[in-house]
Structure formats: C-alpha cells, structure tokens
Copies of this chain bind each other. A is one copy, B any other.
Amino acid sequence: MVTFFKQHNYKEELKDFGLKATPARLAVVEFLENAKKPADVNSIMDYLQQKRVNADPATVFRMMNDFVKRGITKQIQFETGKARYELLSKGDHHHLICENCGKIEAVSDTVIPQMEEEIKKEHNFLVKRHSLEFFGLCKDCSLKKN
C-alpha cells in the first residue's frame, strides 16, 4: 500500500491522482499535511492568504469535494453546518474535541473494525466508512471546571 503525501513531492502525487498541480492545490495539500486537526475551508483560506496564494472559496470547496471523491481526504463534522477535511493518509483515528477550549486530540482506533464485522454479520450491512468523535473536557479544562 502506498502512503500518499508523505514525501513532500506533492506535485507528483497530485498527478498520480489525475489532477493538475496548480498553486492552490499544492498549497492546500501542504497545509493539510501539516495540520494538527481537520481543517475547515475558512482555515484553508487563511493559510492561502498568508502564503500569498490567491484562491476563491468556490475553488477551495470544489477542490475539497474533488479530494474527497478521489480518496485524498475525508470529510469530518464536529460542529453542525461546517465541513472539515483531513488527509486520508493520516490514517484511521478519532478525535477528542474539548467543548471548553476547542482543543482537538487524536485517539487511535481500536474496536471499530470488529464492530463493523459484527454489523456485517448481524445486519448484513456493509460498512464503507464511519464517523466517531468524542466531545467533552480535555485534561486542562476538566481541572479548571472543578
């Protein structure tokens, strides 16, 4: 299995997906690669601006839809009414979202695969993807709250 977007030859990797290596796409992939948490379009726009790569929100939305369709990124929702994106190459893990300070940690996936097995057996339902997020209070905030 190939791990994409790990060797920083983004240009080649985009081409492997049949995508032209435009400045905006290169910058977005780089941003996602270094992002510590799933990014929304707003944060992507900010990064592009900071990098002096100009791109329209419409372009970014189109790009992200494209990336999701091609399996470059996955879409995640923490809050309602806003999509976040994460590189699929970052592997399968879930998020701990602190409702107080907004910090996001990752937890590795331990039990979901076997749960999906059970679902196949008991429901004849073929799971293709899942979403699992935990909301609550991070270490620091749960101390403060007492």
Contact = CB atoms under 8 A, between A and B. Distances in A.
Contact of A135 (B80, B123, B127, B139): B127
B123 A129 contact: no
A131 B127 CA distance: 16
Interface stretch (A21-29, A46-54, A104-112): A104-112
B131 A119 contact: no
Chain copies in the assembly? Answer: 2
Nearest to A114: B111
Contacts of A107: 119, 122-123
A93 to B, nearest CB: 12
Contacts of A96: 119, 123, 125, 127
B126 A142 contact: yes
Given A83-B80, A96-B119, A115-B110, A136 B142 contact: no
